[in-house]
Amino acid sequence: MQFDDGIIAVVKKDCPTCVLIEPVLKDIEDRGLPITIFFQDQSDFLSTSKNIDDTSLEASYFLNIETVPSLIKIEKGEEAIRVVGWERSEWQEFFGEQELGMSLPDWKPGCGSLSVEEGVPERLAVEFGGVDFYSRKIKIPSLVDEVEYCYEQGWTDGLPVIPPTEERVLKMLNGSPRLPNELMGSVPPHSVNCSVVKVAINAVMAGCKPEYFPIVLTAVEAALDDRFCLGGLLATTWFSGPMVVVNGPIREAVDMNWSGNLLGQGNRANATIGRALQLVVRNVGGGHPKGTDQSTFGTPVKYGLCFAEDEKTPWTTLAEDQGIGRDRSAVTVFSADGPLGCVDQNSRAPEGVVKSLAGSLRSINHVEMANASDAVILIGPEHGRVFDLAGWSKADAVSALHENLFIDGADLGMTSDDELADDLIRSKNKVPKFREEGLRLIRAGGDAGLFSAIIPGWLMKGELGTDPVTKEI
């Protein structure tokens, strides 16, 4: 939108300061000074002759108006000077009239422009900004319920989704500096190229806030890493699905939960970030249950599982173990089944807690099955204090767990390593339940309860297995 050289004032009636300066604007016009007045709401409260209706807010959008009243001088088609609100000395200098507005207060702040109210900047950008979403636009019939339409199209995980309007998607995209058409990778099972805007669409549908979007993007990148083997995880008949763990300052910035009920309901960031990843797999890659997703039983994890780590402990964090400091934020994706509880209310020494955890860990997959999958252990705060008071590090705890996890190995048809399976058949000695890097310890959970949580995963890395993947945000 082009503006002629001269002076522009942008006002609205629903602004006490704009009403206050009405006589000044009339005085400016009477003095023959060149001024054009754009009205954001009603155009009849000023009796000036150069009134322009801007109820569409098109001019306000192109002039980047944040506060009214605003005065702007246009010279050679470009903005030269801008004055915001009412300050007599500024207005006098702007117009070169020392007697201007002498009957008014020296100063009064303006009001927020209608163009910056909630949701309006995105609507104006869509309407006037020529935004290219690099994505197909679907016209929904006017009498059709938007949420029900999403159900009919198969875009949901069984729960209602937020309709991804252009305004909502643009607002989500504004949560990250990445370009909408940037490709993230290929999403299984149909190997569909996934762009940033496609992730944004599904983040909207999941109920994410824009400030969650950098986490969602990083989780998608990590899940699409070949090491994670998302296609195999999706197609397995086992229980597993992706789990997202967040480290670093962004946890607090978006109000994530790492304490009580962190694996349950109630926290928007935890609930929607994990769900957004799962919707990308469903809606972009085509991973539908009883289609490519052949899980025999499934798991609530497939709705989305995401939480943050408690970093106020002496132990290194999950991200630090991958070389990412606490001053930086990161995402790690794991394959995950539903959590198994481990209670030990008697042990007051680390050795006892380790023995209890090892007893629960032996049952994963089958008590006689070794090296079939990895496991994540959420060490609750009360169990964590037992380790801390004894001066045990995370490495000490992991080493002790492995020492307590030698079993009578057997090949029960699930191990991902053929050579290992042969060794188990021939072996008369006990074998390690987990591979050396197969146990990951994370500090999290509510203060009450001498509990920890074990989260088993899918096959350990083999020809078809999975490895955890960590990406810095």
Distance between CA atoms of 399 and 358, rounded to whole angstroms? 12
Cβ neighbours of 429 (radius 10 Å): 9
- Residue 200 CA: distances (Å) to CA of 128, 280, 285, 344, 388: 21, 9, 15, 43, 41
The phi and psi torsions of 298 (rounded to 5 degrees) equal 75, -175
Q: Which residue has the higher pLDDT, 416 or 338?
A: 338
Can the peptide bond before residue 214 be classed as cis, meaning omega within 30 degrees of 0? Answer: no
Two structure tokens written together for 280? 């990308």
Least confident of 200-204, 256-260, 307-311, 413-417: 413-417
Per DSSP, 293 falls in state B
Residue that has been written with the tokens 């003095």 in this structure: 31
Q: What integer is the mean pLDDT of 252-257?
A: 98
Per DSSP, 410 falls in state B
Q: What is the DSSP string of 109-144?
A: --EE-GGGSTTHHHHHHHHHS-----S---PPPTTS
Least confident of 182-186, 316-320, 338-342, 366-370: 366-370
Residue (of 402, 460, 401, 456) closest to 431 by Cα position: 402
In the chain, % of residues over pLDDT 70: 94
The phi and psi torsions of 53 (rounded to 5 degrees) equal -70, 120
Residue (of 305, 308, 362, 361) closest to 337 by Cα position: 305
pLDDT, averaged across the chain: 92
Q: Could you give all domains of the chain from N- to C-terminal order, each with its CATH number?
A: 6-128 (3.40.30.10), 168-472 (no CATH)
Q: 57 by DSSP, 3-state: which?
A: coil
pLDDT band for position 130 (50/70/90)?
A: confident
Q: What is the reported pLDDT for 424?
A: 57
Q: What integer is the mean pLDDT of 192-219?
A: 98
Q: What integer is the mean pLDDT of 297-310?
A: 96
The phi and psi torsions of 149 (rounded to 5 degrees) equal -65, -40
The phi and psi torsions of 300 (rounded to 5 degrees) equal -55, -20
pLDDT band for position 29 (50/70/90)?
A: confident
Q: What is the pLDDT of residues 374-417, one digit of tens each?
A: 999 999 999 999 999 999 999 999 999 999 999 887 656 555 55
In the chain, % of residues over pLDDT 90: 82
Terminus-to-terminus CA distance in the chain, angstroms? 37
Question: Which residue type is seen at 48?
Answer: T
Q: What is the pLDDT of residues 60-103, one digit of tens each?
A: 999 999 999 999 999 999 999 999 999 999 999 999 999 999 99
pLDDT band for position 45 (50/70/90)?
A: low
pLDDT band for position 419 (50/70/90)?
A: low
Q: What is the reported pLDDT for 440?
A: 97
Cβ neighbours of 151 (radius 10 Å): 14
Distance between CA atoms of 263 and 413, rounded to whole angstroms? 31
Two structure tokens written together for 446? 């509510």
Distance between CA atoms of 243 and 185, rounded to whole angstroms? 19
pLDDT band for position 421 (50/70/90)?
A: low
Q: What is the reported pLDDT for 107?
A: 95
Q: What is the reported pLDDT for 229?
A: 94
Q: What is the reported pLDDT for 462?
A: 62
pLDDT for 200 beyond 90? yes
Distance between CA atoms of 99 and 101, rounded to whole angstroms? 6
Q: What integer is the mean pLDDT of 163-180?
A: 96
Distance between CA atoms of 348 and 193, rounded to whole angstroms? 52
| Inter-residue contact 51 to 37 (CB < 8 Å) | yes
Distance between CA atoms of 9 and 27, rounded to whole angstroms? 14
Q: What integer is the mean pLDDT of 357-361?
A: 97
